[in-house]
Structure 1
């Protein structure tokens, strides 16, 4: 039986709340500190921290809107520059992760773009000490190939995420932290495609998705 829409919505809400808790909590703490702080230098520092937390919250929301939501209205295709900006906003703010963009296609279907964003999210999260995140996509007569490569000193991929991506976990066993993996798997499966994960080489993670035309 396919996962019901409200069950998947619950997974996504849990994931969103988890990811937004830190920057929104920092905003709340910063406002409380600012209210009690009278030293000009410390107030300036509090304002900087508030601005940083606000940017992080906004970037996460922009990414999740495109990766999980109905961004772009009802159009069949979305500008791939939106995906690049979303990934840069999510991972590029502190300089820990360097994005390599190798997507020449000007547009992609919403489903394909969501697959790209969600596997990029998984690969980027695996770069716990930073590194390089390369995003590539190539269209051919048979369809579209998407490849995400993460390279860094330490890569940690949750084994459950890998199992969900390749379809080795039952729907009833999907945890909120695997929402992105489940969405990518479901979209690729619905399109008759496949996802491959290669994490055997130390310091390297490859996630590929093939989507038929």
Structure 2
């Protein structure tokens, strides 16, 4: 079984870029369709529909890009910190276009960037645990330098996404990584860079993602 650390830097960058593009294509395509309708239609009803589509899709694209910038971007120099309140704001905007609802319980503090990036990437993975929609309850506890994250996913047929438990632990399936697999791969790499361990488990009908400092798990 391969190790996540063995992925070449170029492959990692390419897969992350593919993941971001996948999220942005849909709203950008809708904006293009709306503009085409405005060019071709003269009826007020259709033009109004097209304008509403453009506005909605532009908001979605902006929310996804702002989230991606924080979740995947450099976010400042090495050792930089991110305001957890800003992370909450971009997450709420991003989730407004998703099937699942978000509940966020955390004190607004500055936190090392890799820990915040890990939290945001776990949110993305959590949406796949409840593909039919539901609620993701995010809780952040502990000191900013040694936080504990808990994301409880409640929804119809909540399930652990395929292979995510082992991928978060750094163990890759035999097949070559793809754009769907890159999310937990990157989250696992972030966890280890942030001296944390990320795991996922079923708790009753819920799927629960956790990330704790490595010294807690020994």
TM-score after normalising by structure 1: 0.88
Q: Does 1:46 align with 2:46?
A: no
Q: Does 1:26 align with 2:30?
A: yes
Quote the residue 2:117 is aligned against. Answer: 114
Identify which of 80, 86, 99 aligns with 1:82. 86
- 1:66-77 to 2 correspondences below 5 Å: 66-72=70-76, 76-77=80-81
Quote the residue 1:133 is aligned against. Answer: 136
Alignment RMSD: 2.4
1: CA distance between counterparts of 2:23 and 2:120?
Answer: 16
Identify which of 199, 206, 209 aligns with 2:208. 206
Contact 1:98 1:131 in 2 (8 A): yes
Q: Aligned to 2:149, what secondary structure does the other structure show?
A: strand
Quote the residue 1:182 is aligned against. Answer: 185
How many equivalent residue pairs?
211
Q: Aligned to 1:175, what secondary structure does the other structure show?
A: coil
Q: Aligned to 1:176, what secondary structure does the other structure show?
A: coil
1: CA distance between counterparts of 2:60 and 2:27?
Answer: 6
Contact 1:166 1:197 in 2 (8 A): no
TM-score after normalising by structure 2: 0.86
Q: Does 1:173 align with 2:176?
A: yes
Contact 1:105 1:139 in 2 (8 A): no
2: CA distance between counterparts of 1:128 and 1:141?
Answer: 31
- C-alpha displacement at 1:106, in angstroms? 1.0
**Residue ranges of structure 1 left out of the alignment (5+ in a row):** none
Identify which of 57, 65, 83 aligns with 2:61. 57
**Residue ranges of structure 2 left out of the alignment (5+ in a row):** none
Q: Aligned to 1:194, what secondary structure does the other structure show?
A: strand
